[in-house]
Amino acid sequence: LLDQAKLASGSAATLIKRILNFSRQARSSQRVKVDLGRIAIETTALISSSLPYRVELSLDVDDDLPPVLADAGQIQQVLLNLCTNGVHAIGDANGEIRVRLAHREFGGADGRPVPPGCKPGAYVCLSVSDTGCGMDAATLKRVFEPFYTTKAPGKGTGLGLSIVRDIMAVHEGSLDVSSAPGAGTDFMLYFPVASVVAAPV
């Protein structure tokens, strides 16, 4: 029992350290004008090299994406967390993870509806979709709660998606998700467009 308590306290200490580290990073976030397309290309190339053979990762980036104010390291963390979740959702089956970046205008003359949490205006939409098992309505309601996970013990901490949510809050963006059992999951992240040409990452 003492050994189990020692292991449990060690795990708790590790989780708390991760939370504190992220909190410090969020407060010191270095947001500059960046090209999300460049970040996505570099990050997905790194992720692809470690994916299981049964999972295909694709990337589609609109031409001439406008810059956004962002911390490149935190955007890489977002992509890593969402793609890792996609791999876990696909499991032992063959599947695909699709990353897309597109320029979107909401609330303008074309009548395109404004996504939840967004104001009318211009955004870069980063979407990460997987062909995995999907989520039911009850799971979907809790998906961003810290420490909530449907993974087996030792397979996840339940912090990945809550960190994604917090990063989007730091970036003054919006986050939406849609899913259904057997139909995969789509995460849509909306970053407000910056006004000047992007600086090098």
pTM score? 0.78
Q: For each of the chain's 201 residues, which pLDDT tens digit applies?
A: 666 556 556 545 554 555 555 455 545 568 899 999 999 999 999 999 889 899 999 999 999 899 999 999 999 999 999 999 999 999 889 999 999 999 988 876 666 777 877 888 899 999 999 999 999 898 888 887 876 566 655 555 556 788 898 999 899 889 999 999 999 999 999 999 987 544 555
3-state SS class at 24: helix
Can you tell me the distance from the alpha carbon of 40 to that of 25, in angstroms, rounded to the nearest whole number?
20
Can you tell me the distance from the alpha carbon of 128 to that of 104, in angstroms, rounded to the nearest whole number?
16
Can you tell me the distance from the alpha carbon of 126 to that of 1, in angstroms, rounded to the nearest whole number?
47
